[in-house]
Each structure stands twice: as structure tokens, then as C-alpha cells.
Amino acid sequence: MVVSETKAGDDEKSSYVDSTFASRYVRTCLPRFHMPEKSIPKEAAYQIISDELMLDGNPRLNLASFVTTWMEPECDKLIMDSINKNYVDMDEYPNRCVNMIARLFNATVGDHEAGVGVGTVGSSEAIMLAGLAFKRKWQQKRKAQGKPFDKPNIVTGANVQVCWEKFARYFEVELKEVKLSEGYYVMDPEKAVEMVDENTICVAAILGSTLTGEFEDVKRLNELLMEKNKETGWDIPIHVDAASGGFIAPFIYPDIEWDFRLPLVKSINVSGHKYGLVYAGIGWVVWRSKDDLPEDLVFHINYLGADQPTFTLNFSKGSSQIIAQYYQLIRLGYEGYKCIMENCRDNMKILRDGLEKTGKFNVVSKDIGVPLVAFSLKDSTKYTVFDISENLRKFGWIVPAYTMPPNAEHIAVLRVVIREDFSRSLADRLLNDLLKVMAQLDAHPVAVSTNTAHVTLDSNGKAKKDEIEIQQEVTKHWKRLVDRKKTCGTC
Ligand SMILES: Cc1ncc(COP(=O)(O)O)c(C=O)c1O
């Protein structure tokens, strides 16, 4: 039993020892808008917060997220051991990780040479830094040529993660998006190269689209852009957003050329907290060489005892995730990462096969890519993927449903991300629960479907919806879910 003891004289009720649950602290509501006047016992504070945390979804059943939810107890211990260490006070570990990752991505660094890169909070910060480096390099070149340098743009697919939109807006770069089409949910390299111009600071390709897991064809992009650069005299580089794929492709698809083997690839980001297998809070960006990172973006500080170059948006931050990344790299090695990624791929195939066997879904994700299954309903007349998503919550599963970006907005999918801790038995359980949900929805579409108001009947009395109606429902439903803060995003 948790016991709380408060100082005598506080008030009548708190002047004796009682259980946390009988104390006055749990009888009053938590303040939400201002700091309380008085202190409370540590046990009560702990209990109140931990009770509220019980209401969060179970991270292991959150199949929306790529972010790691399980690590070995030895690593958990290291994380706790280093929880009070500031990243800026660490000399070695970040560099060791950068060196290993740069080599994993085939950077041409000599045996004892250091890779060029930095640890970040995640891929978003990594992308901001990489984007800034491209913008600055482009501006320097334009200034030197006496040309205008106020209208930089970046070319990406419409499937980019929101961090690219943030980069564009925060750092005033126009985002030129290649539209998608039904059945083609990644950036078409031909169309991307048609969109570049003299103000393009880089083309960003994704190794593992957030929406479908598919790898974009960086090799083809590199070829086409080389031709374009030759033709025009431009010098447009490529950034690869390998947030998820950066820790997958080197291990199970080593022959796919997407990294520094391609001459125009100047920088790559990867999320340590996705398939790098570390808890949330760590990403990396590496540059091909020192020349690709403008020196005037790097600050040098000396007041911590030595010359320390820094190129991050933040200064202080926790160091435990970096230590955890180092642990994973040396603990697992190439062999361990390969084994885990193969396992994820096998589990993805089991789930995909099970879904296909139902005959009710079109699987839109590909076998080669991030191990996830994105699938749409063949028939959305009785219920939509949003209904399935919502009903799966009753079983504890968090499976997001979303619409594709322009011009494929009329396609709505569910997505299950397969992480290391998603075992075969969980895949079976999910399939079973999905079948139960669909059986309920088939049997009682009016009772359980949230969209029945839109069902119309055709001449045979059958439910019928046209594409626009379905799209309207999907959007309406999506908004409702967001309003209720029930979605967990596609991160
Ligand atoms: C392709 C891609 N890029 C960038 C990000 C942002 O990554 P982070 O959450 O590490 O900031 C994500 C997140 O899912 C992603 O899928």
C-alpha cells in the first residue's frame, strides 16, 4: 500500500497518515491551468500521474507508430544510468554513432577518418538541418554568381511527412510537391526532375514513404538529375529522407542503391528511434563530406572545456538515447539488425497474406520497403476503414486510417507498422480481432457504422455511395476523430 505522510498542521485532514487513495490529494481535481499553492507528498504526486498515464493507449498495441516501444532491460538500465547526463557534455558516443552510420550509408570516409554528421531529436530536426545546409549552399552560390537568392524551392513527393512542410514554412522555402495518382503513391522521379529549376535547393526522396512504406527510386532520380544538371549547368543535389528505411535497407536490401553510392546524394537523415531500435528522441543526419555542410552554420563553443563544434537547433538535451543507440549498434551489430529486420519482414508477410485471404482488402504497400501493411477496403458501401479503425480500439489496437495526399485523396487506407516487438502471435490476434470487427460491422452496419447517414439505396435497394460521397464521409469522419483527439498520427 502506498502511504503518504504530510506535515503536521497543514490542515485537519492531512495531519495524519493515510493511504494515498484515502488522502485529500486524490479527492480534488488536478490543477490544469495554474500551479498549486501547496506541495503534496511525492507518493501522491506519483500515484495521481501514474493513474492518468494508465489511460493512455498501450504503446505496444499502437500499430500507428514506427517508434520503438521495447528495448532490452540492459539498455533500459543504461538509459536510467545516464538520465541525468546532458548531451552537450558528451564527447565520444555521438561521434562513434555518426561514424558507424556514415559508413552504413557508404560515405567515402577513410579508415580512421570521422564521418560528418550530428545526433538530433529525430528525423524532423535532422531534416531542418539538412535543408538549412542546402539553402545556405545554394544562397552562397547564387550570391557569388550575382543572381537573386530570395526564392529557394525544394522538390518532393506529395507523400512527404509533415516535417518537410514545417521545414518549408519555418525556413521560407517553397515546397514543390509532385502529385500522386491512384496506384502510384510515391514521388515519380521523372515528374520531380521536370519540376526543378535554378532555384531548387535540392530534391528530397524518401526511403520508406510514411504512408505506404515504399522506397522511392533514388537511383533513377540520381540518373535523371545528373542529366538535367549536365544539360542546364545547374548543380541540384539530392537529400534522402531515410527516417525509417535507413536502418532497414542496408541490412536486408544491400543491393538497392539509394545512399552515398549515388553521387548527387549529399545528405541523409535517419530516425534512431524508428528502426534504429531506440526509444523516442533520437535521429541522425549525415553529410557526404565536410564540403556539403557550410562552415558558417557550425558554431564553435569553448566554455565547456574544449572546442566543441555544434550544429543543432537545440543546445542541451538528454543523452540517454544516444547511449542507447550506441548500445544497439554494438550489441546487435550488422548480424543482429539483419535478423530483426528479416523477422519484421516475415511478420509483415504473414499479416499481409492473412488480410488478402479475407478477400476484403486491397493491399497497397509493397513487399520491398518498410515492413508495414497499408490496405484499403474493396467495398466501402457498408462501412469505411475509419469504422474499422475506431472499432479496433475496443480491442486495444491503435490502427490509423487516413486518406492519401493529392491526387489520390479518394483512397483511404488502414496501416499497420510492424516493429521488432510485433510478434507472430500478435499478428494472429490482430487478424482475429479485425475479422470480428468486420463481422460486427457486416451484421449491424446501422448500429456500428458512423457513416450510415450517407448510405443511399440503388434501384435494387442495395446500399450505394458514389466516390464523392465516400470522400465527404471520410473527411468528415477524419475531422471528428481529430477533434476528439483520438488519432495518434502517422509518425
Ligand atoms: C519519411 C519520414 N520522414 C520524417 C519523419 C519524421 O521523423 P521523426 O518523428 O523522427 O521526427 C517521419 C516520421 O514518421 C517519416 O516517416
Q: What is the number of the ligand 1 atom nearest to the C-alpha of 242?
A: 1
Pick the last residue of a domain from 329, 361, 395.
Answer: 329
| pLDDT beyond 80 at 485 | no
Domains held by the chain: number = 3
Residue type, 399: V
118 alpha carbon to ligand 1 midpoint, in Å?
16
Integer angstrom CA distances of residue 14 from 23, 26, 43: 7, 12, 14
Domain span at 439: 345-483
Name the band, by pLDDT with cuts 50, 70 and 90, for residue 454.
Answer: very low
Out of 33-47, 80-94, 206-220, 444-458, the most confident range is 206-220
Claim to verify: residue 137 and residue 258 sit in the same structural domain: yes
Q: Is residue 335 part of a domain?
A: no
Residue that the C-alpha cell 527510386 belongs to: 217
pLDDT in tens, 410-432: 999 999 999 999 999 999 999 99
Claim to verify: residue 369 and residue 477 sit in the same structural domain: yes
pLDDT in tens, 375-392: 999 999 899 999 999 999
> Which cell goes with 218?
533514388
209 alpha carbon to ligand 1 midpoint, in Å?
9
Residue 267, exposed/middle/buried by CB under 10 A (0-12, 13-18, 19+)? buried
Nearest Cα residue to 321 out of 69, 102, 83: 83
Pick the last residue of a domain from 329, 354, 378.
Answer: 329
Pocket test for ligand 1, best of 62, 123, 128 (most atoms within 8 A of CB): 123
Angle at which helix 424-443 crosses helix 385-392, to 10 degrees, equals: 120
Q: Is residue 339 part of a domain?
A: no
CATH number where 349 lies: 3.90.1150.160
Which one has a higher pLDDT value, 469 or 12?
469
Claim to verify: residue 211 and residue 301 sit in the same structural domain: yes
Predicted confidence at residue 10, as pLDDT, reads 47
Claim to verify: residue 302 and residue 364 sit in the same structural domain: no
Integer angstrom CA distances of residue 144 from 17, 40, 149, 440: 75, 63, 10, 67
CATH number where 210 lies: 3.40.640.10
Claim to verify: residue 281 and residue 137 sit in the same structural domain: yes
Mean pLDDT of the chain: 88
Nearest CA to ligand 1 atom 13: 491
Q: Is residue 43 part of a domain?
A: yes
Q: Is residue 48 part of a domain?
A: yes
What CA–CA distance (Å, rounded) separates 340 from 116?
A: 27
Claim to verify: residue 10 and residue 147 sit in the same structural domain: no
Find the mean pLDDT for residues 134-150: 97
Residue that the C-alpha cell 515492413 belongs to: 371
285 alpha carbon to ligand 1 midpoint, in Å?
12
Find the mean pLDDT for residues 239-259: 98
Claim to verify: residue 351 and residue 319 sit in the same structural domain: no
Q: Is residue 86 part of a domain?
A: yes
Pick the last residue of a domain from 298, 329, 360.
Answer: 329
Predicted confidence at residue 56, as pLDDT, reads 84
pTM greater than 0.85 (yes/no): yes
- Judged by average pLDDT, the poorest of 47-61, 218-232, 295-309 is 295-309
Claim to verify: residue 251 and residue 156 sit in the same structural domain: yes
pLDDT in tens, 312-358: 998 899 999 999 999 999 999 999 999 999 999 999 999 999 999 99
Residues with C-beta less than 6 Å from any ligand 1 atom: 66, 122-124, 161, 163, 206, 210, 241, 243-244, 271, 283, 491
Predicted confidence at residue 490, as pLDDT, reads 53
Claim to verify: residue 51 and residue 135 sit in the same structural domain: no
Predicted confidence at residue 175, as pLDDT, reads 98
Claim to verify: residue 209 and residue 138 sit in the same structural domain: yes
